[in-house]
Structure formats: C-alpha cells, structure tokens
Amino acid sequence: MTEHEKMLSGKYYNGTDPQLCEMRNRCKDLCFAYNQLLPSQESQARELMRKILAKTGEHFLIMSPFWCDYGIHTSIGEHFFANHNCVILDCGEVTFGDHVFIGPNCGFYAATHPIASGLREVDVEYAKPIHVGSHVWFGGGVQVCPGVTIGSHVVIGAGSVVTSDIPDGVIAVGNPCRILRSLTPKEMQESLTPAQILERIEKQP
C-alpha cells in the first residue's frame, strides 16, 4: 500500500513521502499561478482551477488567494462561490454540493495529526474526509475540522468552528458549532424555482 493510498483510506501515513511531496508541489505551483492572475482574467482562472480540482461545475467563482494541498481530492458542484483566503487541506476527500457560498477566511481541514507527540515527531499523520451538501452558506472565518459532514440547506454562522456533523435544514453557530434553530420552509424555499424567488423579491413593497 502506497503512502497515498494509506492517506486516502484514513490510515497513518508519512507526509514526507516523495510521491506526496511531488503531488503537493504540483498543486501549490498551480495555486500560486492562480493567485497571480488579474481579477479580470476570469476565463484563465476557471481553466486553471479545473486543473487544480478533481471536479467542478460549469459555473463557479473562487476568489484569490486560494490554497489547496492536493486539489485532486476536492470536488465542487454547480454555482460554487468561495471568497478570499479559502484554504482546503484535502489530504482526505473534500466534497461540496451545488449552490455552496463560502465567506472570506474559511478553512476546510481534512488533515489531522496523532495526539501522541512521538508519532507527530516522526512525520506520521492521517486524514478524515469532509462532505458538504447543497444550498449551504458559510459565514466569514468558519473553520471545518476533519471528518465533518454538513447537510443541505444549512447556514454556518461567521467565526464558527465545526467539530461535528451538522444535519440538514439548520442554522448552526459557535465554537464548537452548535445548532441554533431549524430553517423554516420559507427560508429554505425548496418548492420555488430561482425565477419564482426573483419574482417574489421584485414584488416586495
């Protein structure tokens, strides 16, 4: 079993493995190139991001600077938006559904380390996947920890540290992040099309 295979299976692995170093360097070089593009170079940015990530939708926008460890372990759905300073440590799989909005200075950390200091000191580490559903909004400064699954139709309040799973249809905030309340059907707007939602907004008094 290679160190890469160990990493993706959640086993202890050596982070200084030459293959893993080469994979990270490729991703970091692409991220560096992405972060040097002018904001107006939108088509070049999309083309480069498709080289970084495993899968993207047709419509997405990721503001620079953006950093990722491997890229090839991260997938994003349609209408994905990430504001400035998004960091994804995708030593494990990191997936996002459709219509995910990420505020500035957010981090998604699949990478983790042993509690025992002796293991950390010999470059042993491991990873746990992160999965995010659809129609999710992360406020600024949210940090998502290894192994967390977040459902669909969720709002995570600014500054939250998400240490455990969050179910569908809730607002959750805090450190550690806890459920504040459920979303109402009106807030979720599940039965309305985007055109119907816009029509309602235009008819506001």
pLDDT per residue as tens digits for the range 113-137: 999 888 888 889 999 999 999 999 9
What is the average pLDDT value for the chain, to the nearest integer? Answer: 94
Q: Is the pLDDT of residue 185 over 90?
A: no
- Tell me which residue range forms the domain holding 192: 3-202
CATH code, domain with 27: 2.160.10.10
173 neighbors 157 (Cβ within 8 angstroms): yes
Q: Is the pLDDT of residue 50 over 90?
A: yes
Find the mean pLDDT for residues 96-103. Answer: 97
Q: Is the pLDDT of residue 194 over 70?
A: no
The whole-angstrom separation of Cα 71 and Cα 121 is 26
What letter would DSSP give residue 166? B
Question: Angle, nearest 10°, between helix axes 42-52 and 18-36?
Answer: 170
Helix (H, G, I), strand (E, B) or coil at 149: strand
The whole-angstrom separation of Cα 177 and Cα 80 is 23
In this predicted model, what pLDDT tens digit does every residue of 162-177 receive, in sequence order? Answer: 999 999 999 999 999 9
* pLDDT confidence of residue 109: 98
CB neighbour list of residue 37: distance below 8 Å, 6 or more residues apart: 44, 45, 48, 64
Beta strands in 7-106 (DSSP E): 13-14, 60-62, 66-68, 74-75, 80-82, 86-89, 94-96, 100-102
Specify the range with the lowest mean pLDDT, choosing from 42-51, 83-92, 192-201.
192-201
User: Structure pTM?
Assistant: 0.91
73 flagged as catalytic: no
Find the mean pLDDT for residues 53-68. Answer: 96
The number of distinct structural domains making up the chain is: 1
The whole-angstrom separation of Cα 50 and Cα 72 is 10
* pLDDT confidence of residue 164: 98
Find the mean pLDDT for residues 64-86. Answer: 97
Find the mean pLDDT for residues 140-165. Answer: 98
98: confidence class by pLDDT, cuts 50, 70, 90: very high
Give rounded-to-5 percent helix, strand, coil for the chain: 25, 30, 45
Catalytic residue among 4, 73, 99, 113: 113
**Cβ neighbours around 193 below 10 Å, total:** 9
The whole-angstrom separation of Cα 55 and Cα 70 is 13
Residue 203 backbone phi and psi in degrees, to 5? -90, 5
The whole-angstrom separation of Cα 205 and Cα 189 is 20
